[in-house]
Amino acid sequence: MQVLRFDQLVNRSPQIEELCKCMICLEIFIDPMCCESCENHFCQTCLTTWSQNQSARSCPVCNKLKEKQGQRILKNMLNDLDVYCCYKQNGCLGILKYSEYFFHIKSCQFKQVKCEYEGCNIDILLKDKDQHDNTCPFKLLQCKWCQQEIWRKQLEQHELNECLQRKVQCGKCSSEVPILMMQNHVDTCPENIYKCQLCLSDIKLKDLELHNKNECPQVIIKCSGCQEQLKRISMILHMQSCQFVEIECENCQQQIQRKDLKDHTIAKCFKTLKQIITDQQRQIKGLFTFCEELSQQVNLLSQLQQQIKFSKHFKHKDIEVIKDGKIAQLNLNENKKFDRLIAIKNSKNKPIEIEFLHISDLNVCVGITQRQNIFNPKDYSKHNHQSYLFCANGIVYIDENKEENGKKKNFGFVIGQKLELVYNDQFVSIKNCTTQQYLKYNISYEYFDKDDIELYPVLCLRSNFDKARIVN
Ligand SMILES: [Zn+2]
Ligand SMILES: [Zn+2]
Ligand SMILES: [Zn+2]
Ligand SMILES: [Zn+2]
Ligand SMILES: [Zn+2]
Ligand SMILES: [Zn+2]
Ligand SMILES: [Zn+2]
Ligand SMILES: [Zn+2]
């Protein structure tokens, strides 16, 4: 039965004791009720207990009873009281209002409770309940093997030594085996060593199948060639000579029976080899052609890099130069032995005066040509010779599909006649100063190599005794 004692009051006084004391329990009222006739108060539970020993529910003071709720003024006074928690001696330091006291003690962490597990039943404080739960030797826990519930204090022993379903580790193969199956396992453990019945060597059980299949020298196997059955140990020798075994041809990697290998090598494989050689020869030939093309291109490129150098010291017996430093580069046409191309120093728009001192053949020319032609002269009687050349016999060699015939215009020159050559990027013209004949052509660049469109005035001497003079 709940009791709130006067010694729990924080501020105890005789006045409060007089006003708040229950006539039955002699302690502080809990849930007070009032007798209507004598106006005395009692705890509700005290009144009930008292009445159980009487013939009827009655007031202990006046014997009559008509109950009503305790007076408001009394209840207000009670609600205002400060009291210590009844679990103070267990460590609860709470000071509580009367109004919250009864709620507090229901869940006070310093309240004593009994451990709920059968066999334990010790008293513990509510705050220590979880901790005790984790260690209580009478708590029932499940065995990890058989799932039976076992007291904590017995579980370790049970799982380790007693449980009939526990697993133990095999000392040989390390696998976990139920204790009841251990005897069986010992006989079939894959790490157990057996004697092979055929070769008598010691083999682990797990290797026995592979041993029979691939290793045991005493097992009888079939020859893949002649199908004869022999012990493996004899088969090695047999395979080295059996005529029906397939062997890889070293040349073509085909699998050929030993008896046919010789014929194969001569007949088929030789053909294969020949084919391979032919293919390779063709490839090599192709490479050679490619190399030649490359070297031609390299030559051409290096020619393009060449510069025409005019020098004061450049001299030739066939050329007389009035002013020094006018000529450069003398080249023979490879096909026509005596052709000489002589470049005259570049001077656009300025007339160059030329005079022939000797002409043994009317094919001598004056005109302009592309730079690379000076290094590698082309035959002027063919098209696309990269020049505009005026010939002493009246023919004008031009890079067009047809060659214009200057004779129609009566152009030509002979020994002693002075010529005047003028050119720039647009046109080339020549004048015979003696006869006053005059020819002019617009230069059409589409007939020139695009990489090298630099033009130079040139003389072309074609016979052994030709001789010319550059006047200015
Ligand atoms: Zn009471
Ligand atoms: Zn009464
Ligand atoms: Zn408390
Ligand atoms: Zn316990
Ligand atoms: Zn168990
Ligand atoms: Zn084992
Ligand atoms: Zn064996
Ligand atoms: Zn064989």
| pLDDT 10s digits, 83-138 | 999 999 999 999 999 999 999 999 999 999 999 999 998 999 999 999 999 999 99
pLDDT, position 229: 94
Residue 127 CA, ligand 4 centroid: distance in Å: 14
How many Å apart are CA 223 and CA 213, to the nearest integer? 14
Residue 239 CA, ligand 7 centroid: distance in Å: 20
> Is beta strand 220-222 parallel, antiparallel or unpaired with respect to 202-204?
unpaired
Residue 205 CA, ligand 7 centroid: distance in Å: 12
Least confidently predicted of 55-64, 266-275, 413-422, 454-463: 266-275
Residue 187 CA, ligand 6 centroid: distance in Å: 9
- Which residues lie at CB < 5 A from ion ligand 8? 223, 225-226, 242
pLDDT, position 382: 65
Residue 185 CA, ligand 6 centroid: distance in Å: 6
Residue 221 CA, ligand 8 centroid: distance in Å: 11
Residue 99 CA, ligand 3 centroid: distance in Å: 14
Domains and CATH numbers, the chain: 6-107 (3.30.40.10), 319-470 (2.60.120.920)
Residue 118 CA, ligand 4 centroid: distance in Å: 8
Give the helix/strand (H/E) hosting 330. Answer: strand 327-332
| pLDDT confidence band for 147 (50 / 70 / 90) | very high
Residue 193 CA, ligand 6 centroid: distance in Å: 11
Indicate the residue type of 275.
Q
Q: List the one residue out of 384, 376, 383, 390 whose CA is nearest residue 459.
A: 390
| pLDDT 10s digits, 330-383 | 555 555 555 677 888 767 898 998 988 888 888 888 999 887 777 777 766 666
How many Å apart are CA 290 and CA 404, to the nearest integer? 39
ipTM of the complex: 0.60
Beta bridge partners of 266: none
How many Å apart are CA 459 and CA 391, to the nearest integer? 10
Beta bridge partners of 140: 151
Model confidence at 43: pLDDT above 80: yes
The alpha carbon of 279 is separated from its chain's Cα centroid by a whole number of angstroms, namely 41
pLDDT, position 427: 92
| pLDDT 10s digits, 215-261 | 999 999 999 999 999 999 999 899 999 999 999 888 778 889 999 88
